Structures are given as structure tokens and as C-alpha cells.
């Protein structure tokens, strides 16, 4: 007696077979049918489901048993056991053969079945519960969308695991909170012990996929130490010989996010193998059950999401900035965490080289820092020691380590959720700074990092032209702010765009009002201006500076190109955009080694960049522009308030000139904000 997929019935002796629960077995009815018989009936015990396939629809169960079927019609008769048996031959199928016009069967074939359950189960329905799939074949696929299915894995983002060679260890100690981040996979084997003891169980994945995740098995003593059964260097696991029923829960974690070389899908299989009693006969595969996980993507949050926690770099000389941001954090009910300057980093790094994001499964959401350090060799990463409990830390290596490189995670932004020509982007779209065209001195994000962002699939990237900027980062000319006005076709946010023309228009208005002699930077010390290459020019002098006008005409062209891209790719119209007065000037790269210097000139904010604001809900921390004072009020500040306060925003201008124009970048590089994840679950979308 063995497992079979096709059973030939006999009238001489009852047939006996083993069946895997839920697996259909085909019956050969005609082979033993008496020649004079033209029809048959079939019925099974309560634990057997009978399906007769010769018509559409298929006749199932009691209806099938009540019918008399013609032997001359082509058909498939399938039976399956619905639950594991407790004893041998627990289930029974009877097939009775009839002569024409006879009510009493001429002969009856008997089939005894023993059900064995072999099931590998996961949270296939994404409700946080491991349960048996109603469709066994569905477990082999992973489907996007609100009606989709398939289990989800979280990447191990623990800062304590960074850099540790735990891949080759055979065990690991887990704390209770860490276990909650792991996805469960349950193996269930049931059936009579006399059958199970002759079979072997093997859990496995492919060699390639074993490098992407680890599977742990709890110890029998109930301790916090877990045995590593599958992972890098080990893609199969053989269980001890089965003595009786087996039900075990495994815990699975991913080791890396999807990338160009890793689509994000990992499958695990369990095989029931019948061991041969004859050494000359090989073992036989009886049954295989497979489940598929998708590794949860790395999801970035836009500035329109509410802040949870702000990280400040305190050891820089930016105390005015720090104190003001702390006040803003109190108003927005967010926490402040201190980050101390990393001596191994080059220049400003807190925002330029790292971004807060999150990853999510039905059972857990994890905030994390994605770090793209420019340092070639760094034995430790101090940032990870500053993180709040539960916040993860992951490193994504880059190739271009120059100070002014665009090959870092700081070279991206995220839009709020948008809808473009009927296509919804419920998690927004990633905006990447780029050169858009090849040039001798062009800078761009490396293919590896760009491919990583595209591989996450849920925030379809858009590439913007930002190589004209000294930092190369798009946040130098744009910013999103939340408005929460989604009624009447409004999108619930506004896009702020830098506008030299708006600035010139404002200054021309003030000149006509008789304030042409009012200078910029009136409150800034001369040594500060000198160190930053600025002069306290008046409105008249700025408007008369033809070279400055030419430079800003060039900037305006670059901005208009991006304006068109943003309107097309985000589905924006002009009423969604607010022009913010901002002037730029073209300079050579600063704060870079001579070997990294180029002949090309790059745009840099002429006065502190108003677009480099810190958005904390309705509270905005805006760089103080030190514009011309008109009746004791900075006309640039006044204009910003006129633009934003009617939308409900509270504008706070941060007075700390030293942190604005020094080095490469602006004061936002001294801070980074962890924000509330999107309410929308990524697996419910269709990329």
C-alpha cells in the first residue's frame, strides 16, 4: 500500500491506498468493469469528497453519489480525503456497476483510503494569522492587489546585527520583541504512526534564495535560543525520522531588500519522501508542498506625513537652529533625538547620506534608517547608537564617494499620494535627482542605487534634472506641504517651487515703493558674509546686476523643465504649485578636494534657501532669508507668510546664519525626521 495519483480498482480484492489530505486521486473505473455493465454509481464515506468530471458544471459530493453514470462517456472520477486518518483504512469508497435496466448492482469494487496531512502554511491571506489555504495551488503564487494573496517577509534591520557574521552560526538568541518581526511558517504532518515512520521529511529552498533569508526553529526546551535550519550556506534541512504527528512553527526573516539582482520572492518547500526498504531501490517523492514569501519593500515617506521624531546633529555650531527645531517639535508632539557628529564622515551627512523609511508586513511595521555612507572604509556607524528602540538600520553601498556626489539617498524626495491619468500611486512617487543627459562633468545616482529604488516597486520613481545645483539634490528647489483639502478636486498638498522670477518681481515692487536702497543681510555680521562670499547688496544693486540676472535666467530654465516633469508625472496643475521667491548664483564647487573640482559652475542659493524648510505638520521651520527690511519686516518673510498662512501654516523663521551657506548643502543636512507611515498597505496596490 502506497501513495498513488491513479488507482486501478479491482473486483477481486479491495484496493488500499494512502492519500495526502486535499490532494485529488484519479480512479480507473473501466479497467475492472464487467462487460455487460453499462453504468455505475460511486459513493464515499463522510471523510471523502467525490468529484465527477464529465459535464460542466462538475458534479460534486452527495449529488455525484446519487447519480448513475454511463461507463461509455469519457470522464474523470476524482476523490480526495478531507482530513487525516487516525487509523489505517479509515475512509472507504464503493463503486457499483449496473447492467441496463437493473436496479441491483452486478458487482462492487472497494477502495480503502488512509489520509495523511502534509501542509506548509503561512499568513497567505495577509491578516496576521497563519492558516491553511483553501486552494493549495494558490500558495505557490504571490498576487498583488486588494484581492491578492501571499505571505510577506520583513528584512532584519536590527542595528545590533549590523556587521556581525551571524549567517554561519547554527543558533541565535531572540528577545520577545524581535520575534514579533519574524514571519511564521507552520509545518503540520498528521496520520497513522505506522505510515509516518517509513517516511522522511525535507524542508528546503534553492541555493540562491537561501542567501536571502534565514529560517529558525525554536528549541524544545522553550528557551530564547533558536536553531538556524535554513539560511546562507544551508538550503536543505532533514528532519529526524517521524515517530508520530508533527506540528512545528518556524520563524523567517529576510536578509536584504529587493534589488536589481533579487526580485523579492522566496519560496520554501517541504517534501514527504518514502524510504525504500530495499537498498537497491531509491527513495520516492510522495508529496511536495510549497509556499512563497515576498520581501516587504523599503518605503519612503514624504514631508506631508506627520513627524514622529526628529534627529538633530548637536555638535555642529547650529545652536539657534537646534533650539528652534526643538520648540517646533513640541508644537507637533514629536520627540527629539540627539545625534553626535561622526568624525569619519565628510561634511554634512545626517540628511545627505541617510533617509528614514519603513517596511511593513501585516504583523509588524518597522521604521528604519537607510544609510548610504560616502566613507569608503568605516568599521562602525555611530548613527545606529543614536536610534530610538525599535528603529532599524540598513546600509546600502554606493560607488561615488565624492563630497558633491549625487550617489546618496539624500538625493531623493517622495511625493504625497497622487493619481495620474487614472493610475493611482497610493504611496506617492520617489523623485530622484539626475543629470537627465550625458555630459563630461555630469553627475548622477549610480545604477546600483537607482535600481534598488526601482526594485521596491511601490513608489515608481521619477527622475528630475538637478545636476545644475551644487548639491545636486532636488530638495534645493522644491518642497511638499500638507493642506488636507482633498475636496473639490484638490490633492491635499501643495508643491512649493523655487522661483527667481517671483523674487525679482517682489524686489521690483519694493523698488517702485521706494525701498530700492534697502540691503540684504542687514542683520548678518561682515565676517559671516565674507566667509560665505556674500555682500550686503541693496535691492537696486541686485536688480542692476546683469550677470546675476543671466545666472537666474539659466536657473529658471532648469526649474521650468522640472516643473513640466512634475506636472506630467504627478498629475499636477498650476493651482497645485506655489512659487517661492528664491535667488541663486553660479559658483564652483566648495568644500571639495582639488582633485574633485571641475570647471563647471553650479547653482547655489544666494540667500538662505527658503525651500529647505522643515515641515512638521502645520508648523514650518524656514531658514531666515535675511532679506531687505521694509518697515522693520523682512519682505521675503512677509511674502512667504502671505503665501502659506492662508492655508493654515505657522511659519517660524530660524535665525542661525552660520548653518545655512557654509559647506555643501543647507541646514536641513543637520536634521532628519522620522515620520508616520502611510495608512495604505503596500500589498493592496498593483504596481
- The 3-state secondary structure of 449-480, one letter per residue: HHHHHHHCCCCCCEEEECCCECCCCHHHCEEE
- What CA–CA distance (Å, rounded) separates 500 from 477? 11
Check residue 521 and give left, alpha or beta (phi > 0: left; psi -120 to 50: alpha): left
- Residues near 512 by beta carbon (within 8 Å), at least 6 away in sequence: none
Q: Which residues of the chain have pLDDT under 50?
A: 1, 56-60, 163, 165-167, 343-347, 349, 376-379, 403-404, 663-665
CA distance readout (Å), 677 to 365, 367, 628, 674:
8, 8, 40, 9
- Residues near 53 by beta carbon (within 8 Å), at least 6 away in sequence: 75, 76, 77, 78
CA count, 13 A, side-chain hemisphere, 595: 3
DSSP letter, residue 662: S
pLDDT of residue 494: 96
Maximum separation of any 2 CA atoms in the chain, in Å: 116
How many residues would you count in the chain? Answer: 687
Q: How far apart are the first and last CA of the chain?
A: 49
Angle made by CA atoms 627, 633, 639, in degrees to the nearest 5: 65
- The distance of Cα 662 from the centroid of its chain, to the nearest Å, equals 35
DSSP letter, residue 186: E
Q: What are phi and psi of 13, to 5 degrees?
A: -140, 150
- What CA–CA distance (Å, rounded) separates 533 from 535? 7
CA count, 13 A, side-chain hemisphere, 435: 15
pLDDT of residue 607: 92
pTM: 0.88
CA distance readout (Å), 310 to 297, 327, 483, 590:
23, 12, 21, 28
- Indicate the pairing of strand 236-238 with strand 171-173: unpaired
- Residues near 329 by beta carbon (within 8 Å), at least 6 away in sequence: 307, 310, 335, 336, 616
Cis peptide before 57 (omega within 30 of 0): yes
Q: What are phi and psi of 295, to 5 degrees?
A: -70, 125
Residue with cell 457499483: 96
- Are the CB atoms for 469 and 406 separated by under 8 Å? no
pLDDT of residue 145: 95
pLDDT of residue 315: 54
pLDDT of residue 347: 39
Amino acid at each position: 500500500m502506497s501513495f498513488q495519483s491513479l488507482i486501478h480498482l479491482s473486483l477481486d480484492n479491495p484496493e488500499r491506498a494512502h492519500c495526502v489530505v486535499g490532494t485529488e486521486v484519479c480512479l480507473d473505473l473501466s479497467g475492472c468493469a464487467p462487460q455487460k455493465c453499462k453504468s455505475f454509481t460511486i459513493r464515499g464515506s463522510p471523510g471523502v469528497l467525490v468529484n465527477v468530471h464529465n459535464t460542466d458544471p462538475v458534479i460534486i459530493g452527495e449529488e455525484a453519489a446519487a447519480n448513475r453514470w454511463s461507463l461509455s462517456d469519457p470522464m474523470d472520477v476524482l476523490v480526495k480525503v478531507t482530513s487525516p486518518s487516525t487509523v489505517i483504512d479509515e475512509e472507504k469508497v464503493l463503486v457499483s456497476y449496473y447492467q441496463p435496466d437493473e436496479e441491483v448492482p452486478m458487482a462492487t469494487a472497494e477502495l480503502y483510503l488512509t489520509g495523511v496531512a502534509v501542509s506548509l502554511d503561512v499568513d497567505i491571506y495577509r491578516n496576521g494569522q497563519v492558516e491553511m489555504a483553501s486552494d493549495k495551488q494558490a500558495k505557490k503564487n504571490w498576487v498583488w492587489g486588494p484581492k491578492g494573496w501571499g505571505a510577506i517577509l520583513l528584512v532584519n534591520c536590527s542595528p545590533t546585527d549590523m556587521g556581525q557574521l551571524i549567517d554561519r552560526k547554527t543558533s541565535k538568541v531572540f528577545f520577545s520583541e524581535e520575534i514579533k518581526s519574524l514571519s511564521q511558517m507552520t509545518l503540520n504532518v498528521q496520520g497513522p504512526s505506522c505510515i509516518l515512520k517509513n517516511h522522511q521529511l525535507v524542508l528546503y529552498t534553492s541555493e540562491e534564495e537561501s542567501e536571502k533569508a534565514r529560517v529558525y526553529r525554536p528549541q524544545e526546551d522553550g528557551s530564547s535560543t533558536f536553531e538556524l535550519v535554513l539560511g546562507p550556506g544551508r538550503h536543505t534541512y532533514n528532519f529526524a525520522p517521524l515517530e508520530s504527528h508533527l506540528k512545528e512553527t518556524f520563524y523567517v526573516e529576510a536578509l536584504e531588500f529587493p534589488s536589481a539582482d533579487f526580485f523579492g520572492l522566496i519560496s520554501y518547500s517541504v517534501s514527504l519522501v518514502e524510504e525504500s526498504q530495499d537498498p537497491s531501490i531509491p527513495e520516492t517523492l510522495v508529496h511536495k508542498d510549497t509556499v512563497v514569501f515576498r520581501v516587504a519593500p523599503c518605503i519612503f515617506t514624504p514631508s506631508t506625513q506627520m513627524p514622529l521624531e526628529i534627529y538633530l546633529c548637536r555638535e555642529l555650531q547650529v545652536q539657534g537652529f537646534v533650539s528652534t527645531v526643538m520648540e517646533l517639535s513640541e508644537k507637533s508632539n514629536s520627540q527629539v533625538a540627539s545625534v553626535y557628529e561622526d568624525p569619519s564622515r565628510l561634511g554634512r551627512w545626517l540628511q545627505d547620506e541617510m533617509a528614514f523609511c519603513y517596511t511593513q508586513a501585516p504583523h509588524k511595521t518597522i521604521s528604519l534608517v537607510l544609510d548610504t555612507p560616502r566613507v569608503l572604509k568605516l568599521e562602525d556607524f555611530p548613527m545606529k547608537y543614536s536610534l530610538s528602540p525599535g528603529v532599524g538600520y540598513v546600509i546600502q553601498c554606493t560607488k561615488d564617494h565624492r563630497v558633491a556626489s549625487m550617489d546618496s539617498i539624500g538625493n531623493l524626495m517622495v511625493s504625497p499620494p497622487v493619481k495620474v491619468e487614472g493610475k493611482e500611486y497610493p504611496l506617492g512617487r520617489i523623485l530622484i535627482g539626475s543629470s537627465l543627459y550625458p555630459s563630461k562633468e555630469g553627475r548622477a545616482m549610480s545604477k546600483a542605487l537607482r535600481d534598488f529604488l526601482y526594485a521596491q516597486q511601490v513608489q515608481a520613481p521619477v527622475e528630475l534634472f538637478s545636476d545644475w545645483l551644487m548639491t545636486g539634490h532636488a530638495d534645493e528647489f522644491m518642497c511638499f506641504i500638507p493642506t488636507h483639502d482633498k475636496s473639490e478636486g484638490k490633492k491635499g498638498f501643495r508643491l512649493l517651487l523655487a522661483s527667481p522670477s517671483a523674487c525679482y518681481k517682489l524686489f521690483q515692487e519694493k523698488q517702485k515703493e521706494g525701498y530700492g536702497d534697502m540691503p540684504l543681510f542687514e542683520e548678518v555680521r561682515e565676517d559671516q558674509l565674507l566667509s560665505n562670499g556674500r555682500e550686503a547688496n541693496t535691492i537696486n544693486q541686485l536688480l542692476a546686476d546683469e550677470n546675476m540676472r543671466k545666472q537666474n535666467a539659466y536657473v529658471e530654465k532648469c526649474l521650468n523643465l522640472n516643473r513640466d516633469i512634475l506636472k506630467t508625472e504627478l498629475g499636477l496643475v498650476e493651482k497645485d504649485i506655489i512659487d517661492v521667491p528664491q535667488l541663486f548664483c553660479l559658483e564652483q564647487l566648495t568644500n571639495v578636494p582639488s582633485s574633485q573640482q571641475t570647471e563647471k559652475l553650479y547653482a547655489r542659493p544666494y540667500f538662505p534657501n527658503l525651500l529647505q524648510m522643515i515641515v512638521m505638520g502645520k508648523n514650518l521651520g524656514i531658514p531666515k532669508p535675511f532679506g531687505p527690511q521694509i518697515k522693520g519686516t523682512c519682505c521675503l518673510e512677509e511674502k512667504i507668510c502671505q503665501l502659506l498662512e492662508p492655508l493654515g501654516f505657522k511659519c517660524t523663521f530660524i535665525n542661525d546664519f552660520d548653518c545655512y551657506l557654509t559647506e555643501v548643502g543647507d541646514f536641513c543636512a543637520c536634521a532628519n525626521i522620522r515620520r508616520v507611515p502611510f495608512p495604505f498597505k503596500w500589498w493592496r496596490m498593483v504596481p
